[in-house]
Amino acid sequence: MLNFLKKNIALVWAKRHVQKAQQFKQNAPKDQEELLLSLVNTAKKTLFGREHDFENIRTIQDFQQRVPVSDYENLKPYIEKVKKGQSNILWTDIPQYFAKTSGTTSGSKYIPISKEGMPYQIAGAQSALFHYIAKKNNADFVQGKMIFLQGSPELKEIYGIQTGRLSGIVAHHIPDYLQKNRLPTWKTNMMEDWEAKVDKIVEETEKENMTLISGIPPWLIMYFEKLIEKNGKKIKEIFPNLQLIVTGGVNYDPYKDKMQELLGGNVDIIQTFPASEGFFAFQDDYTREGLLLLTNHGIFYEFIPLEEYGKPDARRLTIKEIELNKDYALILTTNSGLWAYSIGDVIRFISKDPYKILVSGRTKHFTSAFGEHVIAFEVEESIKATLENHPAQITEFHLAPQVNPEEGLPYHEWFIEFEKQPEDMEAFRTELDNQLRKRNTYYDDLISGNILQRLKISPLKKNAFHEYAKSEGKLGGQNKIPRLANDRKIADLLKIHKL
């Protein structure tokens, strides 16, 4: 009876929520401008606000003239003051949390989450579920068990500021009505050893009525494979009532075929775009691609055309100035005290009514040893098209340039872990090269001009990426292995796993 009531209440809430959401979908440009001026006004007496003349900012243009685009290194001196307990630095108070992330150049990063910002992290995930329930007109999953594959919820204090991984922080904010249905146990969630943790999660969940599972694709696959190995059945046989998978962190498409094989039946998928800096977007229609950009969730967005990113005169476009199907570096100003902050993600808009995006790559994850600037979206779309003509199953891949080959011209080397290899590897290689040439004219010119030879594929042993991640201490949680590199640091470590 309780579950029946919960299901019907969820349906009512979902429909009300979706109706209310229509307003922000229609008023995005106006909402964004008002939001920026409100954030500036709130923070005008902070140290950052005084140093950047917030008092005299009246328009978006005023803001852009006074506040340069920054990265973590630029904001680090301010964050170090906040870490020492100083308030009124980037925001009016000290943060409620620091989300600790791994940085490539700055070591660990401490991303502030204010008491105003934290509710939006939760609201983004809730909104994704409400849109799904309303679209499906079905909330059956609330009657079963739910699992969130995430980092440890253990938090440490830095001068009174609770600090930990974002997924661990979010674990403290799961609504009460979901807590009784939530797995794994708190004790298991606290485990740091990821492989041991997943083994324990398998033990705790394999006999349960799992209806919703959430996590990033590589770790969902690891969990599913362990379940199948132990039970000798596909996931839908183990969990016949599994209705929904919520995922994010990386593009789902390259994992889709592998996930479908492991599932062994139909399960709805919702893709989301969360980060320590904010919850930016989610799939509001699980039947179509594209993530709805949340323009009223405490974040003001700017967009720098990718080809201009890093240049002194780069344009900073607002949401009303963007073009469809162009790649933009994503710039954030948030109600947690990040100002014109480059998060490192690259997005492209596929709709303006409402504003919907695809995550197309990372500003620092690309291959351009020869000036080609190949990005994640191009390689993922190339693989997708290649697989249509040459069926295979890919677990994971990494692309790196080979600048100094032992013989012949330089080339792109693709390290691919196949679950199932194509019947004709040479035809697969040729097709993949042709598909990439279609999507990146600079790469095509390099091949045509005999600057590069066609790409080469280095097949890897099973679990190669798992073993690499383990050796680098990057197993589990929100850790993701870059799919593109401009050097051979990862490639040289993957070489030992070649077939």
pLDDT tens string 313-331: 899 999 999 999 999 999 9
The residue segments making up the domain with residue 422 are: 376-497
Distance from C-alpha of 164 to C-alpha of 151, rounded to nearest angstrom: 9
Q: Which two tokens stand for residue 298?
A: 């405490």
Is residue 266 in some structural domain?
A: no
pTM of the entire structure? Answer: 0.80
Is residue 23 in some structural domain?
A: no
Is residue 356 in some structural domain?
A: no
Among 18-22, 172-176, 403-407, 490-494, the minimum mean pLDDT is found in 172-176
Distance from C-alpha of 143 to C-alpha of 9, rounded to nearest angstrom: 12
Mean predicted confidence (pLDDT) in 32-42: 97
Q: Which two tokens stand for residue 404?
A: 């100094």
Task: Name the residue among 264, 218, 215 with its Cα closest to residue 396.
Answer: 218
Q: Are 133 and 284 in contact (CB under 8 A)?
A: no
Our measurement of the distance from residue 138's CA atom to the centroid of its chain's CA atoms, rounded to an integer in Å, reads 27
Phi and psi at 477, nearest 5°, equal 60, -135
Q: Is the bond preceding residue 184 a cis peptide, omega within 30 degrees? A: yes
Tens-digit pLDDT profile for residues 329-363: 999 999 999 999 999 888 999 999 999 999 877 77
Tens-digit pLDDT profile for residues 132-166: 999 888 888 888 999 888 778 889 999 889 998 88
- The band of 105, judged by pLDDT with boundaries at 50, 70 and 90, is very low
What is the pLDDT at residue 335? 97
- The band of 103, judged by pLDDT with boundaries at 50, 70 and 90, is low
Phi and psi at 207, nearest 5°, equal -105, 5
Mean predicted confidence (pLDDT) in 117-144: 89
Q: Say if residue 4's pLDDT is above 60.
A: no
- The band of 177, judged by pLDDT with boundaries at 50, 70 and 90, is low
Q: Are 94 and 336 in contact (CB under 8 A)?
A: no
Could you tell me the CA-to-CA distances from 353 to 20, 296, 324, 332 in Å, in that order?
A: 16, 15, 11, 21
Strand partners, 329: 304, 346
Strand partners, 270: 246
What is the pLDDT at residue 191? 86
Domain of residue 467, CATH code: 3.30.300
Distance from C-alpha of 269 to C-alpha of 283, rounded to nearest angstrom: 9
Could you tell me the CA-to-CA distances from 26 to 92, 129, 132, 335 in Å, in that order?
A: 31, 21, 20, 22
What percent of the chain has pLDDT above 70? 95
The number of folded domains in the chain is 1
What is the pLDDT at residue 117? 93
pLDDT higher at 221 or 264: 264
Is residue 247 in some structural domain?
A: no
For residue 304, the tally of other CB atoms under 10 A from its CB is 22
Is residue 219 in some structural domain?
A: no
Is residue 348 in some structural domain?
A: no
Is residue 155 in some structural domain?
A: no
Average predicted confidence (pLDDT) for the chain: 89
Q: What angle do CA 215, 346, 40 make, to 5 degrees?
A: 95
Is residue 410 in some structural domain?
A: yes
Task: Name the residue among 468, 196, 228, 250 with its Cα closest to residue 359.
Answer: 250
Phi and psi at 114, nearest 5°, equal -80, 170
